[in-house]
Chain A
Amino acid sequence: MVHPLVTQLRFARSEFVRCFAGVPPEDACRRIEPMNCLSWVVGHLASQEHFLWVQMAQGQNIAPGLRQLVGFGQPASTPPWDQMWDLWRSVTAAADRYLDGLTPEMLKTHLEWEGESLEEDIGIKLLRNIYHYWFHLGEAHGIRQALGHTDLPVYVGGMAEVRYAVRE
């Protein structure tokens, strides 16, 4: 059984995807400065998932260079739209191989990076990842409005498939 927090992360991902439906590639790479562009946002969220759930949790690097391109604190970039979505899909699929195995006990443990245990446990990292999605989803929605996009989706969407249930 998938842990409820993982289900919530999947919901955040699905809402994130819903926010970008219909964005033309040329608009995805347009910056409204000083903000980053929409394709950067997609890559940035992929980068966080990659670092947490693929690199640290599984010791794999399936997206070399991604962190330098769209990571926190890196110079602004306007990466290709299709490339960022391809990476996001690859990274989230790889992340799921780890996330699907999480148990309540594991959420109180800590990932390690370069021989050091992370300060935050896996449960906090999951919450942080979820909130990070929602933050950038709101930012991206603001960017889309400023780009003149209309008929945008409304948030928060339907939660019938991710309703609260005990086992946390």
Chain B
Amino acid sequence: MNRHPLVTQLRFTRSELVRCLEGVSAEDAMRRVMPLNCISWTIGHLANQEQGFWVLVAQGRLVVPDLNDLVGYGKPASTPPLDEMWAAWRTITQAADEYLDTLTTDLLQTHLVWKGAPRPENVGTMLRRNTYHYWYHIGEAHAIRDMLGHQDLPEFVGDMSQALYRPE
């Protein structure tokens, strides 16, 4: 498959999130180091952005209803179960990939349409926003793990041999 380089970078970034959170227990994932949100919230929050961008707006469907109310931007803090958030993340990223795998350089310069109006950012910019948003929360989650006393945490940025730079 000739996947677009920016999609490859998003997939690499997702894998770095998974690597950051390996070994986190269900109990610790729901513990808040106030005033930060907990780790399970972070997973759901990132899933929620992917669903908003690549499933709802891009494909006109929802695969995990009510997620935005639980972990969306500006919503009250919540401490959702870790396994539920990983399940939501896996379901959503799989659905997102059905769209993302079709992206071309031409499509990245177009704008998705939501409720009859084009989104202000083109698809390529949204992809970068999504990728940076992951990295931001990977850093924050790493800090939370530090504060929870977790040891032997992974280093970032990791091995990029599967996410080589490719010009368009």
Contact = CB atoms under 8 A, between A and B. Distances in A.
Interface stretch (A50-58, A63-71, A83-91, A160-168): A160-168
Nearest to B142: A139
Given A146-B36, A163-B124, A120 B140 contact: no
A132 B168 contact: no
Contacts of B165: 107-108, 121-124, 126-127
Interface residues of B, number: 45
Contact of A146 (B13, B33, B73): B33
Contacts, number: 121
B157 A132 contact: yes
Nearest to A34: B146
B167 A123 contact: yes
A32 to B, nearest CB: 7
Interface stretch (B22-30, B80-88, B94-102, B126-134): B126-134
Interface in B133-167: 133, 135-144, 146-147, 155-157, 160, 163-167
Q: Identify the interface centre among B109, B136, B137, B160: most chain A CB within 10 Å of its CB.
A: B136
A137 B134 CA distance: 12
Nearest to B141: A138
A contact face: mostly helix, strand, loop, or mixed: helix
A134 interface: yes
B140 A138 contact: yes
Contacts of A122: 165
A104 interface: yes
Contact of B160 (A32, A124, A137, A166): A124
Contacts of A128: 157, 160
A137 B139 contact: yes
A78 B88 CA distance: 40
B32 to A, nearest CB: 11
Contacts of B109: 164-166
A82 B141 CA distance: 28
Nearest to B133: A156
Q: Which 7 A-B pairs have the closest CB atoms?
A: A164-B124, A123-B165, A138-B139, A134-B135, A142-B143, A138-B136, A139-B139
